[in-house]
Structure 1
Amino acid sequence: MTTTLQNAGALVGRLLLAGLFLPAGFAKLNGFEGTVGYIASVGLPAATLAAAAALALEIVGGLALIFGLGTRWAAIALAFFTLLASFIFHAYWAVPADQAYVTQLLFFKNIAVAGGLMVLAAFGGGQWSIDARRVS
């Protein structure tokens, strides 16, 4: 694969991953009370703090991926967040059988997203990123 294709792939990958987190962060911001209620409904303590931290991570992390700024750290933080959220909010093994299929799909989708984020963390944002410009 040529360097141009690799860099284009890294950029598109960053944008697609950010497309999951940035809108989710803004949705949490716009529906903050609902987010707090959802977090509290699964028994997590400090639901307001957790909601604020989640929306901040999704917005800041999403922007970091878009611009390729602190890409590796953003990817690691978002991967950890995604894995944690998967086990808490998509515990397909603990829901009624009629809900298990969709919950299991969401769980494994998130596992795959975390895998993609770890690849991004391992290889960086590519040459078409602010990170690459800062090193040069």
Structure 2
Amino acid sequence: MANTTTTTPNAAQDTLVLIGRALIAYLFIPAGIGKLMGFAGTVGYINSVGLPLPEVGAAIAILVELVLGIALLVGFKTRWTAIAMAIFTVAAALFFHKYWSAPDAMKMMQQINFNKNIAIAGGLLALSAFGPGRFSIDKK
């Protein structure tokens, strides 16, 4: 039989989820700003891995990292935002951190980056499952 009791988050939990959102946003927002400021370089990098429509890909990356990163930070539409960011992060791992086919000199670093992306996606999915906490626009 499933446990049907629910617990109300306390102030410590709400504070921890706020800090968690801020730390994840700290990764995405500066990356989005960098991609926006160096749009041509971002397009070139996306093109270098053979993805189609690199300009569109760069725009999507900026949207996810900058706009959704800010939404995550402030706790706006957090559950959907976190799911979209998790999908993006797994896709980035698969397309840009292919350690299985990297040259030996790059294999370890690519595997570390791949694993970090997967872990970040896990954190984002946890935010989606449990919500942004009281200190968010969603709870106002």
What's the TM-score bracket when you normalise by the shorter of the two chains?
over 0.9
Q: Distance in 1 between matches of 2:122 and 2:64?
A: 18
Residue 73 of structure 2 corresponds to residue 66 of structure 1: yes
Percent sequence identity is: 52
Structure 2 match to 1:98 = 105
Aligned partner letter, 1:125: P
For residue 105 of structure 1, report the CA deviation from its aligned partner. 0.3
- Of the three residues 3, 10, 19, the one matched with 2:10 is 3
CA shift for structure 1 position 98: 1.3
Q: 2:133 aligns with which of 126, 131, 135?
A: 126
The separation in 1 between residues aligned to 2:114 and 2:133, in whole angstroms, is 28
Q: Which runs of 5+ in 2 are unaligned?
A: 1-8
**Once superposed, which parts of structure 1, at least 4 consecutive aligned residues long, lie more than 6 Å away?**
none
CA RMSD of aligned residues (A): 0.8
Decide which structure has greater helix share: 1
Aligned-residue offset at 1:125 = 0.3
1:112 matched to 2:119? yes
Cα offsets for 1:105-131 (capped at 9, x unmatched): 000001000000000000010011110
Write out per-residue CA displacement over residues 51-92 of structure 1, whole angstroms, 9 at most, x where no aligned residue: 011101111111111110111111000000000000000010
Gaps of 5+ in 1: none
The residue aligned with 2:51 is: 44
| 1:76 aligned partner | 83
Distance in 2 (alpha carbons) for counterparts of 1:110 and 1:85: 8
Which of residues 18, 31, 44 in structure 2 aligns to 1:24? Answer: 31
Task: With the length of structure 1 as denominator, give the TM-score of the two structures.
Answer: 0.95
Within the candidate set 53, 56, 61, 2:60 is matched to 53
Cα distance in 2 for partners of 1:100, 1:74 equals 31
- The code of the aligned residue for 1:4 comes to A
TM-score (norm 2): 0.92
Secondary structure (helix, strand or coil) at the match of 2:138 reads helix
